[in-house]
Structure 1
Amino acid sequence: MATSSYFLLFTLLALASWQTIASDPSPLQDFCVADNSSHVLVNGFVCKDPKDVKAEDFFLAAKLDMPRDTRSNKVGSNVTLINAMRIPGLNTLGISLARIDYAPLGENPPHTHPRATEILTVLEGTLYVGFVTSNPDNKFLSKVLNKGDVFVFPEGLIHFQFNPNPYKPAVAIAALSSQNPGAITIANAVFGSKPAISDDVLAKAFQVDKKTVDWLQAQFWADNQN
């Protein structure tokens, strides 16, 4: 009995430890500014010599107060992501930021961030947002957000934002718990992959005929990430 209890305790501690390291690792120094000239491949970026670090390594004139173009893609949105690729000083700090612009009736289509939880704040307009829990429940949780409202999308879950107003644009700002959260837009990944996924596979997965799959694969799947 005692052996079983010790084994259970060890297992729980191991799982807790795994959860701790499942996201971006904690920094072991004040900063690790990304050295973009290095050809060494690591999980993240190689650190620049601290003696060569400048204030500019932590700065980007992103002009996030300026509206973005939402007319250049079919979904009517524009995501401006500020991550470690754009600000080298973010390397190892486990955070990034995005401004999202929505045209009237525009949306940030269903997608996931494989490495980050997202917390979103509406700056202007109204958004209908939601996410779906994992198998087997696939519970859909949604909310209409107004200016100043905040909503959280858990790490890895499929989520979206939609501007229901046919006349006015909307703007949101999002913080993400990774220096490189990643984004997998579901429609793009499934129907716009290169090379294409077999239509036999997709027809069975979505329970439709292959002509429907072929038509979907022939569409131009716009990327709203900038």
Structure 2
Amino acid sequence: MGVANFLLVAFVFLALAFSFADAFDPAPLQDICVAINDTKFGVFVNGKFCRDPVLVTADDFSFSGLNIPRNTTNQVGSNVTLLNVDKIPGLNTLGISLARIDFAPYGGLNPPHTHPRATEILVVLEGTLYVGFVTSNPNRLITKVLNAGDVFVFPIGLIHFQFNIGNTNAVAFAALSSQNPGVITIANAIFGSNPPINPDVLVKAFQVDKNVVNYLQKQFWVNNH
């Protein structure tokens, strides 16, 4: 199957996956919402101001260029292109979004992270990925090796990852059950928060020497999104 046909099949699959399920956005729709009183540009619905329907255009519902490989020359060797409501305004209130994930050859990693507001279904287009998620207590690891055409589901809110174990670039597409799924990359959140978490808290939590915590908090934590 050619790349173009495979991309088409992948998109059809993702579309069907959500057409037979109730797409949803669990409340709240964002971490915080600082209210403003200016409503002259529309009506506030589902976390966004809504444009007058008479003024919408096809551009509000489209995005071009997702077929273009992304740059993976960063510390984790991956690049996530997320098409959420901020990129496609027409997604507002529809409860879905889409992402392209590019991986560098062997070692490209989409680090352990969670989507607090979305379940994710992923299809591999190119390459071989080792993927998995960790359940809540007890913390059971569920993993699988995926090849082109394979699909995997990451339940809402659970820590998960994808790792390229092949010697070539890998590409995957993911659909998420939220217009704004959010992402919390575990290492970045714990060791790269601003302001930083009190080291004494992390020493106690991870049962390591304070020098280890200080070292980790001084690292540059990559945002691959």
* TM-score, scaled to structure 1: 0.80
1:162 counterpart letter in structure 2: F
Structure 1: how far apart are the matches of 2:210 and 2:55?
A: 57
The aligned counterpart of 1:129 is 131
| 1:19-34 → structure 2 map (5 Å cutoff) | 23=26
C-alpha contact (below 8 Å) 1:101/1:171 kept by paired residues: yes
| 1:60 Cα deviation from its structure 2 partner | 1.5
Give unpaired runs (5+ residues) of structure 1. Answer: 1-19, 26-36
| 1:73-112 → structure 2 map (5 Å cutoff) | 73-104=74-105, 105-112=107-114
C-alpha contact (below 8 Å) 1:24/1:179 kept by paired residues: no
2:113 counterpart letter in structure 1: H
Match of 1:53 among 49, 52, 56: 56
| 1:61-80 → structure 2 map (5 Å cutoff) | 61=64, 63-71=65-73, 73-80=74-81
Q: Percent identity?
A: 68
CA distance 1:223–1:86, shift in 2 (3 Å):
same
1:201 counterpart letter in structure 2: V
Structure 1: how far apart are the matches of 2:215 and 2:44?
A: 39
1:46 counterpart letter in structure 2: F
| 1:98 Cα deviation from its structure 2 partner | 0.2
C-alpha contact (below 8 Å) 1:57/1:88 kept by paired residues: yes
What is the DSSP-based 3-state SS (H/G/I as helix, E as strand, rest coil) of the residue aligned with 1:46?
A: strand
Give unpaired runs (5+ residues) of structure 2. Answer: 1-22, 29-39
CA distance 1:96–1:22, shift in 2 (3 Å):
closer
Aligned length: 192
The structure with more radius of gyration: 1
| 1:22 Cα deviation from its structure 2 partner | 6.5
The aligned counterpart of 2:210 is 210
| 1:54 Cα deviation from its structure 2 partner | 1.2
C-alpha contact (below 8 Å) 2:119/2:176 kept by paired residues: yes
CA distance 1:215–1:129, shift in 2 (3 Å):
same
The aligned counterpart of 1:117 is 119
Structure 2: how far apart are the matches of 1:200 and 1:156?
A: 27
Structure 2: how far apart are the matches of 1:21 and 1:40?
A: 20
The aligned counterpart of 2:161 is 160
CA distance 1:93–1:22, shift in 2 (3 Å):
closer
Structure 2: how far apart are the matches of 1:38 and 1:106?
A: 43
C-alpha contact (below 8 Å) 2:25/2:118 kept by paired residues: no
2:132 counterpart letter in structure 1: G
Structure 2: how far apart are the matches of 1:185 and 1:117?
A: 16
| 1:41 Cα deviation from its structure 2 partner | 6.8
The aligned counterpart of 2:4 is none
| 1:64 Cα deviation from its structure 2 partner | 1.1
C-alpha contact (below 8 Å) 1:76/1:107 kept by paired residues: yes
| 1:124 Cα deviation from its structure 2 partner | 0.1
